[in-house]
Structure 1
C-alpha cells in the first residue's frame, strides 16, 4: 500500500485483533502489538494511525493482565493527551481533524459484548461519553467516523454465534446512530473476517446509516469462516468526510501460496462492482433488497467477495442467502432471527426489483482501512 499510494494516504484505521488467540503469554502478546505498531510507524511515518482494541487483543477487557494504560503508552505517538486520558479509562477516544472538521471516534466495542448482568449499564461510561461527543459534533457542524472492532448484529456466516453487542448495549447504541445519522458519514468495523456491510433503519424502515466491515488482513481457513487476506483503500471527500468509493485489494492464496508483495491485486472497486452512483444507506439498501430475488447477480457478487474470493466448500442455498440478507438489514439480534424465520417464503419466489435505477449504490487478524485523499473543486 505504501508503494502503490505513498504520501496520498491520509490516515490508517486499525480495527484490532493483532494477536493470535493461541498466544497465552502476556509478554508475547504485548510484543505482538508492539511489532504491528512498529511496522505501521515505519511505513506510514507521516500519517496518523487510529487503533481500536480487538476482542483477542491484550487489555481488551477489564481484569486482564495488561491494562489500557500500557497499550496507550505504545500508541502515544498517534494519540494526543486528551485521547490518551479516555483510552486509559476505557479503551476509547476521539480525535478531531481540525482542517476539515472531520472527527474520528474510536470505540472499545469489546465492552459491549459482555453478557454479565452484574456489569454497569454503561461500561466505563462509554455510551454517555459517546453521546456527549456526538452532541458537541452536531453543534460544531462536524462530520463523524465511528471506528470499532465489532459492529452490532449477527454474524452472517455463523448465525448461532453469540451477539457481538449484548442487547442492552445494542439498543442504546443504535438509538444514538439513528439520532445523529445526519453527521455520521462512516462506520467501520472488522472482527468477522468477512467482507460485508450493515444498514441502520429508522422505525419506519427508512435507511439512515451504513456500516462497512472489512475482511481480515491475515487469512483464515476453516469451515464456514475462510477468507483470503484483504486490505482496503477508501477514498473520501476531505472537506465533508463523505466516502466516495473504496478499492479492495487481496492475495489469492490458491495461486500465490507465499503471499509475495507483488501478488497483491485489486479484487474490486465498490462503485464499479455494483453499479453505484453514490455510497449511501439508501443505495446500499436497494442492493440488499435484490438479495431477496431468487436469481440476483448482485448477491452473487456480494457472496464471492464475502470470503475475499476464497471459494466456499458449498454453494449458498436459499437458507444461506436468508442469513446474509437478514444480517445486513436487521442489526437487532432478535429481529435478525425473526427475519430468518419469516424470509423463507419470500426468498423462494422472485420479487420485483426495487424502483428506479439499479443503484447498489485472526490467527493474526488486522483489518486495516486506508483513506485516500480525493479533493473536489
Structure 2
C-alpha cells in the first residue's frame, strides 16, 4: 500500500512555472510549514465524531479519508505528502521555517513526555531526510509540551527536545545551548540576516506555569539584547514564533492570545526595533491572515505573516471551522532581506481523498491576488483600506482565510469587524475599541493606528451608548446656550468699541 501511495504523489508542473514571480538571481525562496498536528491514532476507519479514532464500538468499513478529515488532525499520510509536496515544488529553498505544533490536539496522544519527544522526532527526521542540506529553523508550539499549553520555565524539557526530538540536526552548538534555557535562540539565515526563534508559548494566556512572572525565562530581556546587538552591527532580523500577539480573527469570542501583561511589552519591543526587524512569521491560528504593526503616529512599520496549518482539524471555537491543508513559499531579496511575495499552496482534501491523489495546488500569489507590488506593511495597509464587508478584496481575503475550504460562505457584520479589527489592532485596548466603534472614525481615546480607516461603513455602537452620548450632547447644548447668551449680552454692550479697534477682514 505504501509503495502504491508514493506512486500517487503528484505535483502539477504548472506550480513550478506559476510560482516564479521573478527570475532575479538576488531573489531567494524559503518555506514555512506550521501546525502539522500529527495524530498517530488516526484511523481511516475511525469515527469522525471521535477525531477519527477507531475503537471497539466503531463498526465502519467506510474510509474517513486517506489523507485526513476536516474533523480530525493529520494522519501520517498527510504529513508525508506535505513534506513531499514541498520537495516536489521547490527542493532547494534557502531555508525552512517550521513554526510549531507537531502534536495533535488529542490529550491521549500526550499521555507522556516520551510520546511527545518521539512524535516530534518523527516529523523532524522526515523534514531532514527530504531536505538534508537545507537550514531548518524550528520553534515550539503550545501543543508540543506535556500537558498541552504547559510550557515550562527552566526545565530539562528543552534539553530533551534537542537530544530526543532530533533538533540537534537543525541547530548549531551555540543555538542549542541557548535553546536549553527557555526554547528560544538566534541564528544566521544568510549574510547580514539573522533569525530569532522565540518561544511565545511562555506568554500564552492558557499557560498556567507563567502566571506571576514578569518576564518568563527572561525572554524579553534576551530579545532586547539580541536586537541591540543586531542594530549595532548593521544586521537585520526575522522573528519567528508559534503564537502571534493580538487577537484571533475568526471567532466571536474575541480571543486574545497573550496574557495582557505580556502583550504590550512585546509590542513595545517590536515598535522600538522596527528598523531592525524585517518581518515576523507565526502559526497557531490555523487560518491564513496577516497583521500590521503601526507606530504611535499610525504609520505601518512591520508586517506579521500568519501562515495556515497543515492539519485540517475543525476547531471547537464558534465560527472558526476547518481548513484545507496548507504550505507557504516566500520570495525575498537575498541582499536586503526584504520579503517580496509568497505563494500559498493547498491540498483540496475532499478531492485528494476521492481520487486518492494528493495534488498540492497554487491557491494564490499574494501580490497578484491583492494587486500590490510587494507584501510590506505599507502595501498590506493599502489592502486593508479597500476592506469593507462586501468589498471584493475582503471577500477574497475571507475565502483564503479558511484556505478555500468555504466553511463559512458569508461573513456577517460581527464577523467582518472582528476580522478587520484583529488585522489593524494588535493592542488589546485598541482591538476592543475598534470592535465597539465598529471601525468608524474612532473615539478620541482610540489608538491612531485605525484613524486611516475612517472610510469604513458606519455602524451604531451598542444601545446604552446612545444614552451616554445623548446625555453628554444635552449638557453641551445647555452650556452652549448659556455661553451664547452671555456673549450676546457683551456683544451688544461693546460692539462699538470692538469694531472701532479691529482692522482687517472678519473670518
With normalisation by structure 1, the TM-score equals 0.87
My pick for the range that moved more, 168-177 or 147-156, is 168-177
> Match for 1:245 among 341, 344, 348?
341
Taking the TM superposition and a 5 Å limit, the aligned residue runs for 1:223-238 are 224-238=320-334
> Match for 2:394 among 299, 308, 312?
299
Unaligned runs of 5+ in 2: 1-85, 443-452, 457-507
> Match for 1:52 among 139, 157, 179?
139
Distance 1:47 1:152 in 2: 29
Contact 2:256-2:428 at 8 Å conserved across structures: yes
Q: Secondary structure of 1:89's match?
A: coil
> Match for 1:21 among 84, 91, 105?
105
1:85-144 superposed Cα distances (whole Å, 9 cap, x missing partner): 1210100000023x5211000000000114768532111010000000000101111111
Cα displacement (A) at 1:252: 1.2
Tell me if 1:72 matches 2:162. Answer: yes
Contact 2:194-2:236 at 8 Å conserved across structures: yes
1:150-199 superposed Cα distances (whole Å, 9 cap, x missing partner): 11011101242542111211111111111111121110000000000000
My pick for the range that moved more, 198-207 or 249-258, is 249-258
Tell me if 1:338 matches 2:466. Answer: no
Q: Secondary structure of 2:169's match?
A: coil
Which residue in the other structure is 1:310 paired with? 405
> Match for 1:254 among 350, 354, 360?
350
Q: Secondary structure of 1:105's match?
A: strand
My pick for the range that moved more, 293-302 or 197-206, is 293-302
Distance 2:355 2:343 in 1: 19
Tell me if 1:96 matches 2:183. Answer: no
RMSD: 2.3
Over 3 Å counting, the alpha-carbon distance change for 1:204 and 1:260 in structure 2 is farther
Which residue in the other structure is 2:305 paired with? 212
Contact 1:100-1:240 at 8 Å conserved across structures: no
Which residue in the other structure is 2:126 paired with? 39
With normalisation by structure 2, the TM-score equals 0.65
> Match for 1:11 among 84, 91, 95?
95
Cα displacement (A) at 1:10: 0.9
Q: Secondary structure of 2:301's match?
A: strand
Distance 1:168 1:204 in 2: 23
1:1-49 superposed Cα distances (whole Å, 9 cap, x missing partner): 2122122x01111111100131122222222101100100100000111
Cα displacement (A) at 1:352: 5.0
My pick for the range that moved more, 130-139 or 311-320, is 311-320
Over 3 Å counting, the alpha-carbon distance change for 1:310 and 1:132 in structure 2 is same
Over 3 Å counting, the alpha-carbon distance change for 1:111 and 1:260 in structure 2 is farther
Which residue in the other structure is 1:186 paired with? 279
> Match for 1:328 among 423, 429, 440?
423
Higher share of residues assigned helix: 2
Over 3 Å counting, the alpha-carbon distance change for 1:158 and 1:217 in structure 2 is same
Over 3 Å counting, the alpha-carbon distance change for 1:199 and 1:64 in structure 2 is same
Tell me if 1:158 matches 2:248. Answer: no
Distance 1:109 1:172 in 2: 13
Distance 1:260 1:231 in 2: 19
Q: Which segments of structure 1 move beyond 6 Å, counting only runs of 4 or more?
A: 63-66
Over 3 Å counting, the alpha-carbon distance change for 1:312 and 1:262 in structure 2 is closer
Distance 2:218 2:153 in 1: 17
Tell me if 1:86 matches 2:178. Answer: yes
Distance 1:141 1:58 in 2: 36
Contact 2:331-2:341 at 8 Å conserved across structures: yes
Over 3 Å counting, the alpha-carbon distance change for 1:344 and 1:100 in structure 2 is closer
Unaligned runs of 5+ in 1: 354-377
Q: Secondary structure of 1:40's match?
A: helix
Cα displacement (A) at 1:62: 1.0
Distance 1:170 1:313 in 2: 30
Contact 1:69-1:88 at 8 Å conserved across structures: yes
Over 3 Å counting, the alpha-carbon distance change for 1:241 and 1:259 in structure 2 is farther
My pick for the range that moved more, 281-290 or 302-311, is 281-290
* Alignment length (residue pairs): 348
Cα displacement (A) at 1:240: 1.2
Contact 1:253-1:259 at 8 Å conserved across structures: no
Q: Which has the higher contact order (CA 8 A, sep 6+)?
A: 1
Over 3 Å counting, the alpha-carbon distance change for 1:150 and 1:259 in structure 2 is farther
Cα displacement (A) at 1:253: 1.8
Over 3 Å counting, the alpha-carbon distance change for 1:140 and 1:113 in structure 2 is same
